[in-house]
Amino acid sequence: MNNSSSINLTSPELSISSENKLPLVSIVLTTFNGERFLKQQLDSILCQTYHNIEIVALDDSSTDNTVEILNEYAARHKNMKVFVNEFNIGFIKNFEKGCTLANGDLISFCDQDDYWYPDKIKKMADAIYNYPIIYCDSIISDENFNTTGAKISDLVNFKSWNNCLQLAIFCRIYAHTMLCKKSFLKNAYPFLEVIPPDWWLPYLSTFYGGMKYLPEPLVLYRQHQNNVAGVIGGKRKRDAHENRRKRNRLEKAKIRTRINAFYNACPGYMTKEKNVLLSLVKSYNNFSLMNNLKRFIIFLRYRNVFLDVKKHSRLHRFLFCFKMFVKIK
């Protein structure tokens, strides 16, 4: 099925009335060499039925025509601002910078190559209520918006999250599906460079009321050869000549830094969760026989919580625990 034929990619000028009582939604769009698909993404944003929006576009020193496209749209739409980094700071710090520049009470995060359904912002803003974050489902498509027939929720468990341990080992929430309150973001700075923002923010949200799931696909999630991450748990593309041993060492260091950050962020009054995270921190320190055994026991005991995001069978969860005897995750 080719969805592109049914998608209206025009971008009418938005007029924001001074009488508009809707909360301002800031759409933080981060770009880097995204000229190929950027116009379709921008058109879908500008076709939103929720009109009280601003677009905060941050380019991370692109070398193609991305900046020219952004400036072209900003010249035609007064509610769009473009910022260009003098040098490349990486997608996490660019993401953080966009959040600090946003003026809205609500902030939505945007990739440079997807397509938003026209009522995405409206439906999410209407449903967020007292939650710090809400997220929706996505339909997976190829680069031409031919759908695969699958939603992300077909591949992983999506639900409202309220326990930090559910998101301490795995997170399969994507930034383009999220809408969050700016008042919540003050608890998240600075963003850590070893934890993607769409993992760090959902994790932190469990301490401030939890993360709400809106079970409706509101985005076409485009998959193509230049994606930074694959559709489910994909890893960023790596240098083909990078030494595998060095890569594994760096990956383990990142995992240890992440689990330490999660432990430090957990409030002291959450005694059970804090103790479980501390046990993980200690068992992640090295691969001694004692630590390996402790790690295996921890994962076995809390397997249903740690693996809640995954659609694993009971047997698969047991096998995963056995793997943790010789590795960390």
Same domain, 281 and 211: no
User: CA dist 113 to 39, 40, 41, 42, 153, Å?
Assistant: 8, 7, 6, 9, 20
Same domain, 208 and 278: no
Residues of the domain holding 209: 3-222
Q: Band of the pLDDT at 178, cuts 50, 70, 90?
A: very high
- Cis before residue 190, ω within 30 degrees of 0? yes
Same domain, 190 and 295: no
Dihedral (C-alpha) 302, 196, 203, 309: value to the nearest 10 degrees? Answer: -40
Asked, for residue 270, whether it belongs to a domain, the answer is yes
**Mean per-residue pLDDT, 299-325:** 96
The percent of residues above 70 in pLDDT, for the chain, comes to 88
Residues 234 and 191 sit within 8 Å (Cβ to Cβ): no
Asked, for residue 234, whether it belongs to a domain, the answer is no
Whole-number pLDDT of residue 21: 84
Residues 124 and 179 sit within 8 Å (Cβ to Cβ): yes
**Mean per-residue pLDDT, 227-238:** 53
Same domain, 254 and 217: no
Listed residues 222, 252, 282: the one ending a domain: 222
Q: Band of the pLDDT at 19, cuts 50, 70, 90?
A: very low
In terms of average pLDDT, the best of 18-22, 177-181, 244-248 is 177-181
The percent of residues above 90 in pLDDT, for the chain, comes to 84
Q: Band of the pLDDT at 229, cuts 50, 70, 90?
A: low
Chain-wide mean pLDDT for the chain? 91
**CATH for 72:** 3.90.550.10
Same domain, 267 and 202: no
The number of folded domains in the chain is 2
Asked, for residue 227, whether it belongs to a domain, the answer is no
Same domain, 285 and 203: no
Of 12-21, 193-202, 235-244, least confident by mean pLDDT is: 12-21
Q: Band of the pLDDT at 11, cuts 50, 70, 90?
A: very low
Same domain, 50 and 163: yes
Whole-number pLDDT of residue 6: 38
